[in-house]
Structure 1
Amino acid sequence: MEAIPSLRGPSQAFVVLITAWLGYQLLKILYNVSPLHPLSSIPGPRLAAASYLPEFYHDVILLGRYTHQIRRMHEIYGPLVRINPNEVHCNDPDFADEIFAGGGRKRNKSSHQVDANFNRHSGFATVDHDRHRSRRAPLSKFFSRASIARLEGDIAELTQKLCDKILAHRGQEQPFDITIAYSNLTTDTISGYCFGKQFGLSRFVDNLPQPLVHLVRIMQIEMPRRIEEIREGQRAGVLYERPTIIGAILDSDLRDKEKSTSRVADESFAVVGAGTETTAWALTVMTHRLLSNREILERLTQELQHTVKDPRRLPSWTVLEKLPYLSAVIQESLRLSYGVSARTARVATQEDLVYQGEWDKKPIRYVIPRGYAIGMSAVITHHDENIFPRSHEFRPDRWLDPERRRELERGILGFGKGSRACLGMNLALCELHLAAAALTLRVFPYMRLFETTEEDLRYDYDTIVPMPKRESRGVRATVV
C-alpha cells in the first residue's frame, strides 16, 4: 500500500497562511458586530457593520450605486446609520456644521474614501487636516471674491464665445451634447487661471460633441509640460501678465517635495476637474429645466431684460447676483445638480461627536467616537422633503422668501461646508450668473431639446460627480 504524500513544504505553508487569514477575517467580522466595537450603538444592517462587502458590491461591482442603498437605510433606521464597519452616515442637515466643522476644529478626511482617489496627492485627497490646510493656503487667494472679480472679464469673453459657437449651429439638424458644450467654457476658464494659458478646447474641434478627447490628452500629456514651463519661467525671472495658480504653488513656502511635478500635477487635475464638471453639469440642469418650462424661462427673461441692455455686454456678477429670480434659478439648479454626489466623510480627531435628534417620535442620542468617520451625501440631503417639499421638482420660487431661503441653505451641500468647503465656489457662481444671463437672452430663444427626457438628468450612480443611466445619450439640443 502506497503512503499518502505529505503536505509538508510550500503547499502546507500556503494552506496554513490561508487558514490563518480566514480565521483573522472571521475574528474581525465578529468584533465588528459585537458590543465591543465603538460604533456598535449606531443602527444599520448587520452585514454592513460586519464587513465592507455590501459597499464593495454596490460601488465596485454595480459601479457607484451604494448611495441608493444608504438612502434606503435611512428610511429604515433613521437619521444616523452605520454603512460599513468604521463609518456612519448622517441625513440630518442640522448636524452638518458639527461634521464639517470649521473655526480651527480639526477634521481629517476619511482615508477609506481617499484610497479610491486617482489624484491622491492633491489637496482634495489629503487626509490630514493640517497638511490639507498647508496645501490649500497657496490657492485660497485666487478664489476670493476680489480675485474672481478681476477674472470676470475673461469669463464674460468666454461666455460670449460659447454663445457664438452654439448659435453657429442654427439651422443644422445635427444635435449636440450641451454638457460638453458647457465644459468648453468651464475648462478654458479654470485652465487659463491655473496655467496662464487656456486649453482652448474650441480651437481643437470643429464640432461640439468631441472636445473631451482633447481634454483627456491635455490632462495626461501636456499638464506636466505646462507645469515645467512655469517652473522654468520662474527660474528665468519671466513676468506673467497675471499670477497663476500653479505659479503660486511653485513659489510658495511649501517643502520642495510638495512642489514636485507629479504632486503639482495631481493638484492641477483636482482643480481643473472640479472647476469643469460640476459647473458644466449645473448649467446643463438649468438649461434642461428652463427649456422644459417656458413659464419659468419667460419670467427669467423678463427680469434679465429689465437689467441687461445688451446681452453681448453683460453687467457685472455683483449686479446679476442681486436679481432675485436669476439667483433663485441658479440656487435651484445647484440643488438639483448636487455638485459632488459621492458621500463626503470627516473624522474628528480631538473630540467625540454627540448626535441628539428624533426618530419615530422618540428622542435619540448617539456618540461617534473620535477617529471614526461620519459623512453626508448631497443627493440624499437635497431631497429632504422636510426642507424641500416636492424636492424632485424644479421650483425656483422656493428661494424667493429671504427668511425661507436661510432655512433652505442649511440643507445645501453642493459646495461642502467647513474648513474643506469648495475652494472654487465664487468662481462657479460668477460663471453661472454670467452664463445664465447670456444663454437666456441670446441662445435659449433658439435652442430646443432633442430626444432628451428626465431620465437623462436623473442621478443613477457616482463617479464623484452625478451620472445618469449608462444608456443615456446625454442632454442634447438643436438650434433652430
Structure 2
Amino acid sequence: MYSFLDDPLSATLAAGLAALAYLSSLAVYRLYFHELVRFPGPKLAALSKWYDFYYDVYLKGQFVFKLQELHDQYGPIIRIAPDELHISDPDFYVEFFTKQGPQSKYAWAANRFNNGTSVFATVPPDHHKLRRRPLEPMFARAQIRQLLPTLQEKIAKMLTKFRTYQAGGQVLRLDRACVALSEDMIFEYGFGICREALDKPDFKDPLHEVLVQAGAAGVLSLHFPILPEDYQRAARFALQDDENIKSRNPKAHRTVMLDLLNDAELPPSEKTARRHLDEAQAVIGAGLSTTGWAATVGIYHILANPAIVARLRDELYTMMPRGAKREDCTDLDWVALEALPYLQASIRECLRLSYGMSARNSSVTHKEVMYTESAQYAALPPNGSDSDSDNKRPSQGRTWHIPAYTPVSMSIPLVNHNEHVFPNSHTFNPDRWLGPNKVPERYFVSFSKGTRMCLGMQLAWAELSLMLAGLVRWFDFELYETDARSVKMGSDVTIPVPASNDGVWTKVKAELD
C-alpha cells in the first residue's frame, strides 16, 4: 500500500512541518505559559538561549554589558533565557548565595571547560561538599602562611629582574611580570613543579594567552558542548614536561594535588586520572590569570595616581624603613602587611575592579526563593520600553516568588559597578573601604559568597599583599604609552579580557633604598 512517506519529498515536507509545529508550540509555551512568564525581560531571551549566544559568542563576550542595559530598562530581576533569571541587587547577593539552603550548580553553565569532575563544575551540593572538603585545608590561612618563604623567593626573583630593566633603560611589560609570578606560584604549590615563567625573556609565556583562548572556547561550548576539549588541551599544555619545567620536588611545603591523591577519606572513584586532570585545570585557571590580572589592574591604577603611590609608600615605610632592605624579601611579612590599612584597602580595589570571575554566577535552589527589591530601586522611576506593557518594569519594592529549581544568576561586575554602593565605581579609590562610612563587608564579592566561594582567597590575598608592597616600596615606576583600556574589561570569557591587548608598560625609573 502506498504511503506518502515513501516519497522523499513528502517525507521531508512532513518532517519540516512537524519541526515547525514543535518549535511554534515551544515558542507559545515559553512566551505565554512558562512559569517564568511573569518576570520582565526581552521576548527574544524568553524564546531561546540564542539571545545569549548572540552577545557572548557572535559579539565576543558582550553579554555582561548587555545585562546592565537590561537591568537599567527592566529593573533588578529579569528573565535572560527560557529557564534562567538574573538579579542585579547587591543587597541580595549574600542573601541568595548563603541563606537559601542547599544549592546545585546550574548544569548548563557548569561544564563549560569539560572538567565536570572538578569542584568548580560539580552540580549536586552533597557531591560538591565531598570534593571540596579535602581542598579547603590546603587553601586555609594557616597553610598559606607556610608558603610565605616560597612566595618571598618569587618576589625577590621578580625584583632582581626589574633591576636589569632599570640598569638597561628597558621598558617593562608589568602585566606579564604579574602573571608570571602567579603562574610560578600556583604551579609550585599545586603540583610541586615550576615553569620558571619569571626567568623567561620579558616574562613572555604563552600559558596565560592559552587560558584566555580556552575561556573563549568555553563560552562557545555552553551552546555547542562538543567543543570544550580546547580547555583539556590547555591543561595538558600547562602540565607538559619540557625544558621550561623544572622539578622542584621534594618541597618543604605540601602540594595540592598530592594531598588530594593521598586523602584517606576520599573513595577510589574520586581519585581517577580524569578527576585529577579536571581538578588540575581548575587549580591552574583559578590561580593563575585571576590573581595576576588583579595585580595588573591595581598596579596600573596606583601608578596612574601619584597621590596613591605616595600614601602607600609612606605607610610601607613604617614597616620597612629606609636603609633596611633585605634582598631576599623576607621583610615582606604577610601578617605585618595585613596591619597596613591603606595597603589592604588598595588590594580590595584591585580585586573589585578585576572582578575575579566576570561570568555570571548561576545557582539552583531546591526551594522557592522570595526576592524583595531593595530600597535603592524605590527612587528609580519605571522606564521599561517594551511594547508589551505587562513586560515593563513593575512597581518598585515588589516581592517576587521564584519557583524552586529555577536557575538564578548574579554577576560580580554588576555588583562592583553598582553606583549606589560604589559611587564613581570605575575610579580606583581605596578610601571607600576606610573610615566610619566605609563600604560594608557584605558588598565585597570578588571571591563570591557561600559554600561555592573561591577556595584560593587567602593565597590570592597573600600574593597581592607581597607583590604590591614589594613593587611600591622598592621601585619607582612610570607608565609608558599605556592607558586605562589596558586594564578595563572589554569582554567576558569567564575571566575578563581588557579592551586593549597592548599590555601595561612601564619604565623602572629608580630603585629605592
The AA in structure 1 aligned to 2:504 is V
The residue type equivalent to 1:479 in the other structure is V
Q: Relative to structure 1, is the Cα distance of residues 479 and 15 closer, same or farther in structure 2, using a 3 angstrom cutoff?
A: farther
2:147 partner SS: helix
Residue 503 of structure 2: SS of its match in structure 1?
coil
1:254 corresponds in structure 2 to 266
Kindly provide the amino acid, as one letter, of the partner of residue 477 in structure 1.
T
Query: Does the 8 Å CA contact 1:378/1:412 hold for their aligned counterparts?
Result: no
Give the drift of 1:370. 1.1
CA contact 2:197–2:204 (8 Å) conserved in 1 = no
* Aligned position for 2:41: 44
Give 1:466's aligned amino acid: P
Q: Does 1:98 align with 2:110?
A: no
**Structure 1 240/172 Cα, relative in aligned 2: closer, same or farther at 3 Å?**
closer
Contact 2:417–2:425 under 8 Å retained in 1: yes
**Residue 245 of structure 1 aligns with which residue?**
256
CA contact (8 A) 1:201 1:215 kept: no
| 1:145-160 alignment runs, 5 A limit | 145-160=141-156
Match of 2:402 among 368, 383, 387: 368
Map 1:381-420 onto structure 2 (within 5 A): 381-401=415-435, 403-405=436-438, 407=440, 409-420=441-452
Show the counterpart of 2:19.
Answer: 21
Contact map agreement 2:332 2:469 (CA 8 A) in 1: no
Distance 1:375 1:94 in 2: 14
Q: Aligned residue for 1:232?
A: none
CA distance in 1, matches of 2:108, 2:208: 31
Partners of 1:379 and 1:57 in 2: CA distance: 20
- Residue in 1 that maps onto 2:385: none
Structure-2 residue corresponding to 1:119 = 115
2-structure distance, mates of 1:353, 1:282:
33
Alignment of 1:175-186 (within 5 A): 175-186=171-182
Match of 1:479 in 2: 508
Residues 176 and 208 in structure 1, CA contact (< 8 A), matched pair in contact too: no
CA drift of 1:406 comes to 5.2
Counterpart Cα distance in 2 of 1:116 and 1:108:
16
Q: 1:386 to 1:144 in 2, by over 3 A?
A: same
Q: RMSD in angstroms over aligned alpha carbons?
A: 2.5
Aligned partners of 2:89, 2:26: CA distance in 1, in Å? 30
- In structure 2, relative to structure 1, the CA distance for the partners of 1:189 and 1:213 (3 Å cut) is closer
Mapping of 1:312-391 within 5 angstroms?
312-349=329-366, 351-357=367-373, 359-361=377-379, 362-391=396-425
Cα shift at 1:219? 3.6
Once the two structures are TM-superposed, the CA of residue 148 in structure 1 deviates from its matched residue by 0.6
- Shift of the 223–28 alpha-carbon distance from structure 1 to 2, 3 Å rule, reads same
How far did 1:11 drift? 4.9
Change (3 A) 1:151 1:397: same
Change (3 A) 1:213 1:339: closer
- CA separation of 1:25/1:99 partners in 2, compared to 1, >3 Å: closer, same or farther? farther
Contact 2:360 2:409 in 1 (8 A): yes
For structure 1, the 5+ residue unaligned runs are: 1-5, 227-237
For residue 421 of structure 2, give the secondary structure of its aligned residue in structure 1: coil
Distance 2:59 2:111 in 1: 19
Please give the secondary structure, in 2, of the residue aligned with 1:138: coil
2:319 is the counterpart of 1:307: yes
Q: Which residue in 1 is equivalent to 2:463?
A: 431
User: Which residue type is aligned with residue 472 of structure 2?
Assistant: T
* Cα distance change, pair 222–275 in 1 and its aligned pair in 2 (3 A): closer
Distance 1:384 1:218, change over 3 A: closer
Alignment partner of 1:264 is 2:296: no
Instruction: For residue 182 of structure 1, report the CA deviation from its aligned partner.
Output: 0.9
Inter-CA distance 179–240: structure 2 relative to 1 (3 Å threshold): closer
Alignment CA distance shift 1:16-1:134 (3 Å):
farther
Superposed displacement of residue 257, structure 1: 3.2
SS of residue matched to 2:61:
coil
CA contact (8 A) 1:290 1:296 kept: yes
Contact 2:363 2:409 survives alignment (8 Å): yes
* 238-247 vs 455-464, which moves further: 238-247
Q: CA deviation at 1:80?
A: 0.9
- Contact 1:188 / 1:198 at 8 angstroms: preserved in 2? yes
C-alpha contact (below 8 Å) 2:208/2:289 kept by paired residues: no
* Residue 84 in structure 1 maps to residue 81 in structure 2: yes
Deviations 1:124-169 (A, max 9, x none): 1112111111111111101111001111111111111111122221
Kindly state the Cα deviation for residue 222 of structure 1 after the two structures are TM-superposed: 6.3
**Are the counterparts in 1 of residues 431 and 438 from structure 2 also a CA contact under 8 Å?**
no
Q: Distance in 1 between matches of 2:159 and 2:18?
A: 64
Residue 28 of structure 2 aligns with which residue?
Answer: 30
Consecutive unaligned residues in structure 2, runs of 5 or more: 212-232, 243-248, 380-395
Partner SS state of residue 19, structure 2:
helix
Contact conserved, 2:190 with 2:256, CA < 8 A, in 1?
A: yes
1:280 is aligned to 292
Q: Distance in 1 between matches of 2:276 and 2:10?
A: 48
User: Match of 2:373, SS?
Assistant: strand
Inter-partner Cα distance in structure 2 for 1:167 and 1:15: 74
* TM-score normalized by the length of structure 1: 0.89
Alpha-carbon distance change, 9 to 172 in structure 1, aligned in 2, over 3 angstroms: farther
Q: Normalised by the size of structure 2, how large is the TM-score? A: 0.83
Residues of 2 paired with 1:140 and 1:220: CA distance? 25
Residues 246 and 30 of structure 1: CA distance in aligned 2, closer, same or farther (over 3 Å): same
Number of aligned residue pairs? 456
> In the alignment, what sits opposite 2:125?
129
Amino acid at match of 1:365: T
Distance 1:186 1:313 in 2: 18
Residue in 1 that maps onto 2:486: 456
Match of 1:138 among 131, 134, 137: 134
